[in-house]
Amino acid sequence: MAYIKQNSKSVNGTMKYYNYSLVSTHFGIPKFSLQTTDKRIANRFKHKVNELEKQSKFYPDAMDWTYEVYKVCGREDLLPDYNTLIPTISEGFKELIDTKQMYGTITSQSTIDCYLLASRLMIEILNDLKVNQIVKSHKVKIESYLHRHYDNKNTINIRVRNIMQFLTWCVDMEYINKLPFKIPQIKVEQKTKTWIKPDVFNTILDAMDDDKPEYKAYCEVAYHTGLRLRELNTNPSDKAYRRLNHTLKRVQTNGVKYYQIKVRGKGGKVEKIILPNELKPAYDKMISVRHHPCTYSKKFKDACIKVGQPHLRFHDIRHSFCQNQSLGTTDALLLQLKMRHSSLSTTQNYLNDTQLKWTKQVESIKVIA
Q: Tell me the pLDDT tens digit for each residue of 241-266.
A: 544 456 778 888 888 888 888 777 66
Closest CA to 24 of 54, 42, 4: 4
Provide the pLDDT for residue 111.
85
Alpha-carbon torsion (124, 106, 88, 168), positive or negative: positive
pLDDT band for position 369 (cuts 50, 70, 90) = very low
Q: Which of 334, 332, 333, 304 lies closest to 316 in space, CA to CA?
A: 304
Q: Output DSSP code: residue 260.
A: E
> What's the distance, CA 368 to chain centroid?
47
For residue 269, the one-letter residue type is: K
> Using 50, 70 and 90 to split pLDDT, how confident is the model at 8?
confident
pTM of the model: 0.54
Q: Is the pLDDT of residue 218 over 60?
A: yes
- Give the integer Cα–Cα distance in Å for 279 and 227: 13
Domains of the chain: 2-80 (no CATH), 89-172 (1.10.150), 198-227+280-368 (no CATH)
DSSP 231: G
Is residue 339 predicted with pLDDT exceeding 50?
A: yes
In what helix (H) or strand (E) does residue 246 lie, and over which residues does it extend?
A: none
Q: What is the pLDDT of residues 124-164, one digit of tens each?
A: 999 999 998 999 999 999 999 999 998 888 899 999 999 99
Residue 244's pLDDT is 42
Confidence grade of residue 237 (pLDDT, cut at 50, 70, 90): low
Provide the CA 30 distance to its chain's centre, in angstroms: 41
Per-residue confidence at 63, pLDDT binned at 50, 70, 90? low
| Whole-angstrom distance, CA of residue 118 vs CA of residue 90 | 10
Question: What is the pLDDT, as a whole number, of residue 367?
Answer: 40
Of the two residues 73 and 30, the one the predictor is more confident about is: 73
| 20, 36, 44, 47, 148 from 29: Cα distances, Å | 16, 19, 18, 16, 51
Name the maximum alpha-carbon separation found in the chain. 114
Q: In Å, how far from its chain's centre is CA 304?
A: 33
* Contact yes or no for 264/321 (Cβ under 8 A): no
86: phi then psi, degrees, rounded to nearest 5: -80, 125
Whole-number pLDDT of residue 60: 52
Average pLDDT, the chain: 79
When pLDDT is cut at 50, 70 and 90, the band that residue 84 belongs to is low
Three-state DSSP class for residue 251 = strand
Who has greater pLDDT, 78 or 94?
Answer: 94
Note the pLDDT of residue 334: 62
Residue 24, burial from CB neighbour count under 10 angstroms (0-12, 13-18, 19+): buried
Determine the Cα–Cα distance for residues 240 and 136; give it in Å rounded to an integer.
35
pLDDT average, residue stretch 175-183: 91
Least confident of 25-34, 105-114, 118-127, 140-149: 25-34
Looking at residue 340, its pLDDT comes to: 66
In this prediction, residue 2 carries a pLDDT of 77
How high is the pLDDT of residue 360? 47
- Comparing 33-42, 77-86, 314-323, the range with the smallest average pLDDT is 77-86
Burial of 249: CB neighbours in 10 Å, binned 0-12, 13-18, 19+ = exposed
Is the pLDDT at 282 greater than 70? The verdict is: yes
pLDDT of res. 96: 93
Please indicate whether residue 284 or residue 168 has the higher confidence score (pLDDT). Answer: 168
28 or 206: which leads in pLDDT: 206
Average pLDDT on 15-38 reads 75
User: How far is 258 from 234, CA to CA, in rounded Å?
Assistant: 21
Cβ(73)–Cβ(34) under 8 Å? yes
Residue 351 has pLDDT above 80, yes or no: no
28 Cβ contact partners less than 8 Å away, ≥ 6 residues apart: 62
147-172: buried (b, 16+ CB within 10 Å) or exposed (e) per residue?
eeeeeeeeebbbbbebbbebbebbee
Start-to-end Cα distance in the chain:
88
pLDDT, one tens digit per residue, over 37-46 is 788 887 887 8
